[in-house]
Structure 1
């Protein structure tokens, strides 16, 4: 019985898509998926042991279950470490890419023959594709794993405190709290919104230069996210307020070019009309 069970465990670990193939996986996402598959197979074996144990074999069966529990715990630990490492690498790549894109934008502003509209998207740092994620795991196999990016401990609370200051009209405090937020949680799921809200707080304090930079950071943080159209719109408006009419017109034109279905398009066209853009 014991040999059969151990053979079953080894077979599960060497199934196509199991640990053996994980040794050849090219990304952390692949490794995490392979660990998930092995975890599911061990869960199936554990259920079989729990329901088909022969009478009188409690001691030996219990020992085997303990060993499987140990393997399961180790797989969970490795999966958690893999996910944490993947998140850290993704955060570093995204933050580095955004900073490079920010530098490219600002350098382009300083050059007379540079067209901001022709900059395009900044290639990901190190050639890492941030759009590619692991193959989704069916809900019944994934357990209690939540969907979407995970918030760091305290992230939601810090964001809510900044928003509360904003809602209460304390724009100075809101700008400071949002600034601290983006430094504490770079590359997080709420970073783009925090940059945008910081820009709004600074705009209400008539700090147009720093507000424009905040809106640029909001757009650079997530160029396809829900705040990207409004961030680009507000950046164009602030550039206009700063007297950089040509740059403002180009930026506002990008709103309709990039996000033709967004509500921000109408506002961008109105802003272009106010600036007498060609």
Structure 2
């Protein structure tokens, strides 16, 4: 039985790489599942107690090592494909959101505050489009991710708006799907605001709010979006958007700022 299992495993491990590379993500997952089952079965037989008529030679262990190496390769390939798919979905969905914002700007009577989050490309749930970080033991960050984000924040705090905007943009490109994406969008909007690019700042605020309505920065992003619309001369839209802050986030500190902005704009 052991030799039959080993023969099956060697056959799977020796499958031509070209055939594996041309497989779909589902094919790779299936190969991974098959190899996992077989290697666990082999390990069980190798660790069986009692007498055995089969001697475990060094070649058997070498084959087991090769199979485990193949498992690691397939796992890495799966993660690579998932990362690429996630990035396409995120970038495409963000572009759709920006286009919806531009269309709403051109349509009379369009309420930008109700544009909402666009459906992710390909349908399904939004897990592939960067969910907001969960308040557990802290978000899982890539090496250097927190340091890069901190440098962008420092540039913003020092009033170096151009550098801050570039750093936040570079951060989002370098770490797609980051748990810090909502904060990066908000920071990028503030930096663009500081440079006087109100329209692009409004787009960043809109993306931070519409893509992450449940994040900690969503109330401030919505408030700043309303204020930016006021700066662009879209007073009715600004008033509606600012009023949404209290309606959607009544316990947020951004409510007081939204009220002040509404008073300054003469909202009724």
TM-score category of the 2 structures, normalised to the smaller one: 0.7 to 0.9
Give the counterpart of 1:239 among 229, 238, 245.
229
- The answer to whether residue 94 in structure 2 is matched with residue 104 in structure 1 is no
What's the counterpart of residue 140 of structure 1? none
Instruction: Give the C-alpha shift of residue 221 in structure 1.
Output: 4.4
> How far apart, CA to CA, are the structure 1 residues paired with 2:200 and 2:247?
25
Q: Deviations over 1:153-182 (max 9, x none)?
A: 654443233223223332332222223333
Secondary structure of residue in 2 paired with 1:159: helix
- The CA distance in 2 between the partners of 1:176 and 1:243, in whole Å, is 27
| 8 Å contact from structure 1 (residues 175, 202) kept in 2 | yes
Matched, 1:212 2:202: yes
Q: 2:261 maps to which residue?
A: 271
What is the SS of the residue equivalent to 2:183? helix
- Report the secondary structure of 1:126's partner residue: coil
- 1:52 & 1:243 partners in 2: Cα distance? 81
Shift of 1:112: 0.8
Contiguous gaps of at least 5 residues in structure 1 = 11-26, 134-146
Matches of 2:27 and 2:219 in 1, distance apart? 33
TM-score (norm 1): 0.70
Q: Distance in 1 between matches of 2:244 and 2:94?
A: 18
What do residues 177-202 of structure 1 show as CA deviations (whole Å, max 9, x unaligned)?
22333344444433332221122223
Which stretches in structure 2 are left out of the alignment for 5+ residues?
Answer: 11-23, 130-137
Moved more, 39-48 or 92-101: 39-48
> RMSD over aligned Cα, in angstroms?
3.8
Q: Of the candidates 175, 180, 191, which is equivalent to residue 201 of structure 1?
A: 191
2:125 corresponds to which of 117, 123, 129:
129
Q: CA deviation at 1:41?
A: 7.0
Equivalent pairs counted in the alignment come to 248
Query: What residue number does 1:182 align with?
Result: 172
